[in-house]
Amino acid sequence: MPTTSSYRYIAPVLALLASAIAAQAPDARADEPSKRTISLSATGAVKTTPDKVDITTGVTTEGQTAGEALKKNTEAMTKVVDGLKDAGIEAKDIQTTNFSVSPIYERQKQGQAAFITGYRVSNSVHITVHDTGKLGEILDKVVSLGANQIGSISFGVSEPEALKDEARKQAMGKAIADAKLYAEAAGVELGPVLSITEEDGGYMPRFAEAAAPRAMAKAVPIEAGTATVQVKIRVTWELR
């Protein structure tokens, strides 16, 4: 009767024999011819008139103490936010994006250690305006209420999904046309689609430079232009 020690040596031998048999077994897939394929990328793009605009605005104040700078900032920022709400901007479309308190340093002589001469407080909000025609009026209003920081202005589309579907159709149409052209030139036939991958998508907002706050006047002329919704796909076909 085999001992426990015998099983300890027999088990590895059986495992090696099983591996050798499996390696010698014919692979049914080895006889299958590899499929000939073609893969192409295509982009669909739809231009539209922007129906929203995103801007960043805020207030930066300074004072000899942090408390003084903060008080000035709070008063000015409260006026700006209240003014935005009075102009029809909903609370959900006003979001604080930055708030900071930092010391102001000064060095009177070369090699002398810097010392604090005051404090600076910055508070910025991101605003979404759904009536692009009101943008000039809103910019003028926030500046007149104390905003001294205006960030980039970005025109976009609130609900781009329907436009993305149209861009997808365009992209697929271009991919099919190109694939047929290549197949014909190669003297082969285009077979079934094997895969479709959406590589990227979204809309390309239009950015506009904001004028310096002090240079702004009433009814600031800013044109919305167009926004582009685009989708890029990669399609693979079998060739016959």
**Domain segments of the chain as ranges:** 33-50+159-204+217-240, 52-156
For the segment(s) 33-50+159-204+217-240, the CATH number from 3.30.110.170, 3.90.79.10, 3.60.15.10, 3.40.50.720 is 3.30.110.170
Q: Is the pLDDT of residue 29 over 70?
A: no
Q: Is the pLDDT of residue 152 over 50?
A: yes
| Residue 34, pLDDT score | 80
Per-residue model confidence as pLDDT tens digits over 51-98? 999 999 999 999 999 999 999 999 999 999 999 999 999 999 999 999
Higher per-residue confidence, 7 vs 79: 79
Percent of the chain predicted with pLDDT > 90: 58
pTM for this model (two decimals): 0.62
Beta bridge partners of 42: 233
Task: Identify the CATH class of 52-156.
Answer: alpha beta
| Residue 10, pLDDT score | 45
Residue 206 CB contacts under 8 Å (≥ 6 apart), including other chains: 50, 154, 155, 156, 224, 225, 226, 227
Per-residue model confidence as pLDDT tens digits over 230-240? 999 999 999 99
DSSP letter assigned to residue 214: G
Distance CA 193, CA 234 (A): 11
The three-class DSSP label of residue 148 is: coil
Task: Show the tokens assigned to 75.
Answer: 């008063």
Per-residue model confidence as pLDDT tens digits over 172-205? 999 999 999 999 999 999 999 999 999 865 555 5
Q: Is the pLDDT of residue 118 over 70?
A: yes
Mean pLDDT for the chain overall: 83
| Residue 71, pLDDT score | 97
The three-class DSSP label of residue 33 is: coil
| Residue 195, pLDDT score | 96
Averaged pLDDT, 114-125: 95
